[in-house]
Amino acid sequence: MAAHDVALKVTQDQALSCDSHTKVLTEAGCNYDKPATSSRAALAYRSPSPSRGPPSRTSSPYRRRRSPCSSSSLCTPSKRMRSRSGGPPSPTPSANKCRKSQYLGSSICTPTKPKPCKWNEENPPAAPRRAFNLTVKQDDIAEAIAANDLPLLTWALLRGGAGDLLSEAARCKHLGAFDMVLRHALPGDLARSGRQALDLALMGCMKKDDLGYQMAELLLQYGASPDDGAQPDGVGKKSPVHTMQKPLPPLPLFRAAQLQRSVAVELLLAYGANPNRVDVASGQTPLQTVCALSQATALLDGMPPPLPFSSREPPGKSDGLSESWFPPPFPFDDVNLEGECVVEALLRHGANPSECGALGRAPRELLALHETRLRGKLWRAERWHAQRPLQLVCAFAHHQRAVNSKICNQRVGAMWECDDQIFSIVSTFL
Specify the CATH number for the domain of residue 355. 1.25.40.20
From 24, 41, 56, the end of a domain falls on 56
Q: What is the pLDDT of residue 367?
A: 73
Q: How far apart are CA 208 and CA 165, in angstroms?
A: 25
| pLDDT score, position 332 | 40
297 and 373 housed in the same domain: yes
384 vs 320: CA distance, rounded Å? 53
Domain presence at residue 295: yes
Whether 419 is in a domain gets the answer: no
Q: Which of 248-252, 271-275, 283-287, 338-342 has the highest mean pLDDT?
A: 271-275
Contact 157, 141 (CB under 8 A): yes
Which amino acid type is present at position 314?
Answer: P
pLDDT exceeds cutoff 70 at 348: yes
Express each pLDDT in 94-122 by its tens digit: 444 444 444 444 445 555 666 665 666 66
Report if residue 68 sits inside a domain: no
User: Do 250 and 217 share a structural domain?
Assistant: no
With respect to residue 43, please indicate whether it lies within any of the assigned structural domains.
yes
Range among 2-6, 130-134, 209-213 rated most confident: 209-213
Same domain, 46 and 144: no
Query: How confident is the model at residue 246, as a pLDDT?
Result: 53
Sign (positive/negative) of CA torsion 146, 149, 153, 156? negative
Segment 78-100 mean pLDDT: 48
* Residue 260 resides in a domain: yes
DSSP single-letter state for residue 186: -
Query: If you compute the radius of gyration of the chain from its CA atoms, what whole number of angstroms results?
Result: 45
pLDDT (tens digit per residue) in 184-231: 887 777 877 788 888 888 888 888 888 889 999 999 988 888 887 544
Q: Note the pLDDT of residue 308.
A: 45
Long-range contacts of 28-36 (CB under 8 A, 24+ apart): 28/3, 29/3, 30/3, 31/55, 33/61, 36/61
Single out the residue of 102, 121, 107, 51 nearest to residue 77, CA to CA.
Answer: 107
| Same domain, residue pair 149 and 183 | yes
CA-wise closest residue to 82 among 73, 94, 91: 91
- What is the C-alpha to C-alpha distance for residues 194 and 216, in angstroms, rounded to an integer? 10
Average pLDDT, the chain: 64
Angle formed at CA 419 by CA 414 and CA 421, multiple of 5 degrees: 95
Task: Report the pLDDT value the prediction gives residue 290, as an integer from 0 to 100.
Answer: 83
Going by the DSSP 8-state scheme, the letter that residue 274 receives in this structure is -
Closest alpha carbon to 110 in 74, 68, 69: 74
Residue 96 has a pLDDT of 47
H helical segments located in 9-94:
12-15, 18-27, 38-44, 77-84
Amino acid at 64: R
What are the distances in angstroms from CA 277 to CA 39, 226, 227?
87, 12, 9
CA gap 74, 97 in Å, rounded: 9
> In the Cβ-directed half-sphere of 121, how many Cα atoms lie within 13 Å?
0
pLDDT in tens, 303-340: 444 444 444 444 444 443 333 333 344 344 344 677 78
| Contact criterion met (CB below 8 Å) for 215 and 196 | no
Higher pLDDT, 376 or 420: 376
Residue 240 has pLDDT above 60, yes or no: no
For residues 231 and 368, state if they share a domain: yes
Q: What was the pLDDT predicted at 292?
A: 78
Contacts of 84 by beta carbon, 8 Å cutoff, 6+ apart = 67
Can you say how many angstroms the Cα of residue 245 is from the centroid of all Cα atoms in its chain? 12
Which of 49-53, 215-219, 383-387, 413-417 is modeled with the greatest confidence? 215-219
pLDDT digit string (tens) for 393-408?
A: 666 666 666 656 555 4
Residue 244 has phi, psi (to 5 degrees) of -95, 15
**Residue 430 belongs to some domain of the structure:** no
Question: Other C-beta atoms within 10 Å of 234: how many?
Answer: 8
List all residues 6 or more positions away from 271 whose beta carbon is below 8 Å from its beta carbon: 220, 226
Statement to judge: residues 294 and 343 lie in one domain: yes
pLDDT of res. 251: 84
| pLDDT (0 to 100) of residue 236 | 39
Q: Which residues of 140-169 are buried (b: 16+ CB within 10 A; e: fewer)?
A: bbeebbeeeeeebbbebbeeeeeebbbbbb
Domain end (from 192, 224, 256): 224
244 and 268 co-located in one domain = yes
More confident residue, 64 or 124: 124
Percent of the chain scoring above 90 in pLDDT: 3
Which of 196, 210, 209 has its CA nearest to residue 168? 196
Residue 312 lies in a domain: no
Is pLDDT above 80 for 91?
A: no
Higher pLDDT, 23 or 383: 383
Length of the chain: 430
Q: Do residues 234 and 361 both lie within one domain?
A: yes
Q: Give the count of domains, the chain.
A: 3
Query: Does 45 have pLDDT greater than 50?
Result: no
**pTM reported for the whole predicted model:** 0.52
What is the domain extent for residue 41? 1-56
pLDDT at 163: 73
- Asked which of 85-94, 232-241, 363-372, 378-387 is least confident by mean pLDDT, the reply is 232-241
Q: What is the pLDDT of residue 268?
A: 92
